[in-house]
Chains A and B, each alone.
Chain A
């Protein structure tokens, strides 16, 4: 059995969106290196509940790095020290006895803190609702193999589609820009033939919504790419920008008219 160890946590506690928050110190004792980071927090929380104190609120669900629910800033880094790893997949073997760990929520204008380490990422859903889809009503598509797609494009689309919507990119960006997230969806759909009819409409509508949500602008710091647990690349941002320019140049308001008869 690996040796257990002790840590000190400095955790952002905030009752709700309206109250101010502050850091509170908690010991985390008898931690096994095989525990996941969230299991370590579970242990601390069980102790708090037994004492009648409110446990530290944090979002989580799958604990497998795929649902994108978890996420906190660990010692200044979104999702913590391990590259390409969500908070739930971080393990305590990345830490050592006596470490101090600071935990904060994602910080961005567009993501109000709901409680402690939990934020409201509804802005991401609204961006998708604005255009992050292909209009394919149920029952309408043709046979799946009727449209061959070069493997290379399918693979690139899949790379972009791997985004889990966790918002670490926003938390990492000094401007709190959402460009990496938005460009990943735009790229995925722009790389596929099915995505072509709405390609320019999509980029325009999604970017308009992104701006309305008060995300910052991208000034090429590249922090987003480093923080992203799914390896989403900044080349997606370049692809989105090209499409956006093209969309702006070719913009024509939709013609409205009824059919004859």
Chain B
């Protein structure tokens, strides 16, 4: 397998400009002769589908929800980064680039990150043009706040609903195209297979989640923008339907899977309350602008109400350990620090797995009104879930799985190792290295969808003959359809005793314990034994009532869990083979005396891209070396 990143030559500031000029163009009259499938209607997919249709391509877009407006991007709360420097505080494209490379612990491609920083400003312009109601100051200009891993204020936001507002902007642009007849939208359609002919992506097979119909869609190029695979861990901040199915099928058809073990555990989520727990709820990182994180200094104090613990007996551990970034230390670092104090027996709450996020000082300084204006909806959400009032008692929080930096390997054009298959947004691996900074996933999703794919896909399509699409009768199409219907039949045929959720929960426990915030060789090897056992049990003892011929949510879930049971294994394998600590990947064997991640640049300054070798075969690990010419490799310090 060849991993050609196709990074353009030239100085980093010029690469994207030069490349745009070098890319071949498709003649306007020819555009409508090309058909592009966009799987996913989140920020990446929604933006791509709308923009490609505006250019004149024939587009079909798919999502599993009942409406494209409900893609998981809707749940993003905090904000989106851009290097506008509207606040004159020293921001620039260069600084955003630098912060993101460093934040990713030097495991991302410089050229991609620089492009991301360059287009960040266009994104804000685009969204404002669409009517996204970003927060403003009294003078009518846009407001900003700070996020972790940055010392400038570059995060644009719309109350605590930034993702919702950005997605509605993209959704409206998409619906405009639907109204014009240039995009055909397939909601409640789940992609189950990629059609590959002579090594080139030519279409997909979907299941209509209402009628059960299994159908192929043929095109000149396919874009996957299906989000992250973090639900492999079962409990996560993802929406319940988020899945790895689309990228996993593509992987099995030849797309390399890069850095699968790079997952982000977000430091501030509402703690688990019991076995019934079905998901975890994030409390936005923006809260760390004003909230202070602490635990009691003494173990004996952990059972007491927060109000009875005097100031001197509190350990504001982030402020203590990282004085220059304090509560705004990056996520991987803040999560690990929370785990350390809890491992130390100083966690709070019934389970001892929690730390305080305290607004008392901010309320005294700014007034409850100001805090309400900034975070009102988050405070309300917290109270609804926990029945506690965060204006009066500090929030209790704990880390939870939140994002996957890994994903399908793509080159600079966002094309996977399968020609014609492009991967956008969280589904690809490209920009965040081993740790994503807050407010940069929204930026990346929209960058990919609005400003990268419209150019790079043209370069690909210009090289293929218009109207050369394969026919529905092609044996590859029939085989793909057959594969999907056989798999549905196989799931029904098991007819065992246990629910899909049962297996998902079991997998989640293994993943969290052995491939979560701390990983080590023995644990990962154990997980690699346990996961195949769960998978075997799944294929022996699963039960799905009903039929495949109408709505069947158990069937949908079972299909996704079957894939998670394979993805989880690859995550553990990748974590085992990456014998260093970097970003969110913390191998306990590689840490400094102070417990910080210890990178091994000599042996691991690369992307690990896995190639599927067939059922039951061990996948092969390929390597794309990374070079840092503009940001010098250095130990990340936030002290």
- A interface residues (Cβ-Cβ under 8 A, vs B): 1, 15-16, 32, 34-36, 38-39, 42-43, 45-46, 48-50, 52-55, 57, 59-69, 82, 84-85, 89, 91, 93, 114-115, 118, 120-122, 124-125, 128-145, 147-151, 154-155, 157-158, 161-162, 164-165, 188-189, 192, 194-195
CB contact between B545 and one of A1, A15, A54, A93 (< 8 Å): that residue: A54
Establish whether residues A151 and B138, one from each chain, have CB atoms under 8 Å apart when the complex forms.
yes
| B contact residues around A115 at 8 Å (CB) | 550-551
With A55-B545, A143-B125, A158-B158: A34-B173 Cβ-Cβ less than 8 Å: no
**Minimum C-beta distance from B481 to chain A (A):** 23
Give how many B residues have a beta carbon under 8 Å from the other chain's beta carbons. Answer: 84
| A contact residues around B276 at 8 Å (CB) | 32, 34-35, 39, 42-43
**B453-482 to A contact mask, C-beta < 8 Å, 1/0:** 010000000000000000000000000000
B614 within 8 A of A: no
**Minimum C-beta distance from A84 to chain B (A):** 8
Establish whether residues A34 and B497, one from each chain, have CB atoms under 8 Å apart when the complex forms.
no
B610 within 8 A of A: no
Interface residues in B349-370 by Cβ distance below 8 A to A read 350
B178 within 8 A of A: yes
| B contact residues around A36 at 8 Å (CB) | 278, 385
CB contact between B384 and one of A48, A91, A122, A149 (< 8 Å): that residue: A91
The interface centre, meaning the residue of B47, B66, B171, B279 with most chain A CB atoms within 10 A of its CB, is B66
CB contact between A129 and one of B133, B178, B545 (< 8 Å): that residue: B178
The interface centre, meaning the residue of A67, A137, A195 with most chain B CB atoms within 10 A of its CB, is A67
| A contact residues around B130 at 8 Å (CB) | 133-134, 136, 141, 194
| A contact residues around B554 at 8 Å (CB) | 49, 54-55
19 contacts between A and B (CB under 8 A): A39-B276, A43-B276, A50-B498, A55-B545, A61-B70, A62-B239, A66-B75, A67-B75, A68-B69, A82-B384, A128-B69, A132-B175, A135-B176, A136-B130, A139-B451, A148-B139, A154-B140, A188-B131, A189-B131
The interface centre, meaning the residue of B68, B72, B159, B499 with most chain A CB atoms within 10 A of its CB, is B499
Establish whether residues B129 and A32, one from each chain, have CB atoms under 8 Å apart when the complex forms.
no
Known: A135-B176, A144-B128, A158-B133. 14 other contacts (CB 8 A): A16-B551, A35-B276, A46-B499, A57-B553, A84-B380, A133-B130, A134-B129, A136-B129, A139-B126, A141-B128, A141-B130, A142-B129, A157-B131, A188-B133
With A54-B546, A61-B72: A128-B140 Cβ-Cβ less than 8 Å: no
Establish whether residues A130 and B161, one from each chain, have CB atoms under 8 Å apart when the complex forms.
no
With A66-B75, A135-B176: A118-B551 Cβ-Cβ less than 8 Å: yes
Establish whether residues A130 and B387, one from each chain, have CB atoms under 8 Å apart when the complex forms.
no
CB contact between A133 and one of B70, B159, B173, B553 (< 8 Å): that residue: B173
A155 CA to B137 CA in the complex, in Å?
A: 10
**Minimum C-beta distance from B42 to chain A (A):** 11
| B contact residues around A89 at 8 Å (CB) | 381, 384-385
Establish whether residues A57 and B239, one from each chain, have CB atoms under 8 Å apart when the complex forms.
no
| A contact residues around B153 at 8 Å (CB) | none
| B contact residues around A148 at 8 Å (CB) | 136, 139-141
| B contact residues around A157 at 8 Å (CB) | 131, 133
Establish whether residues A151 and B129, one from each chain, have CB atoms under 8 Å apart when the complex forms.
no
**B167-211 to A contact mask, C-beta < 8 Å, 1/0:** 010011101101100000101000000000000000000000010
| B contact residues around A66 at 8 Å (CB) | 74-75, 161, 164
The secondary-structure label for the interface of chain A is: loop
B5 within 8 A of A: no
A221 CA to B504 CA in the complex, in Å?
A: 46
| B contact residues around A61 at 8 Å (CB) | 65, 70, 72, 239-241
Establish whether residues A120 and B499, one from each chain, have CB atoms under 8 Å apart when the complex forms.
no
Interface residues in B533-554 by Cβ distance below 8 A to A read 543-546, 550-554
Establish whether residues A34 and B273, one from each chain, have CB atoms under 8 Å apart when the complex forms.
yes
| A contact residues around B161 at 8 Å (CB) | 66, 162
Establish whether residues B141 and A124, one from each chain, have CB atoms under 8 Å apart when the complex forms.
no
| B contact residues around A53 at 8 Å (CB) | 545
B50 within 8 A of A: yes
A39 CA to B278 CA in the complex, in Å?
A: 7
A134 CA to B171 CA in the complex, in Å?
A: 11
Establish whether residues A144 and B384, one from each chain, have CB atoms under 8 Å apart when the complex forms.
no
With A42-B276, A59-B66: A154-B543 Cβ-Cβ less than 8 Å: no
Interface residues in B380-433 by Cβ distance below 8 A to A read 380-381, 384-385, 387
Interface residues in B114-163 by Cβ distance below 8 A to A read 122, 124-131, 133-142, 158-159, 161
**Minimum C-beta distance from A198 to chain B (A):** 10
Establish whether residues B74 and A63, one from each chain, have CB atoms under 8 Å apart when the complex forms.
no
B67 within 8 A of A: yes
Establish whether residues B133 and A192, one from each chain, have CB atoms under 8 Å apart when the complex forms.
yes
B483 within 8 A of A: no
| A contact residues around B164 at 8 Å (CB) | 66, 162, 164
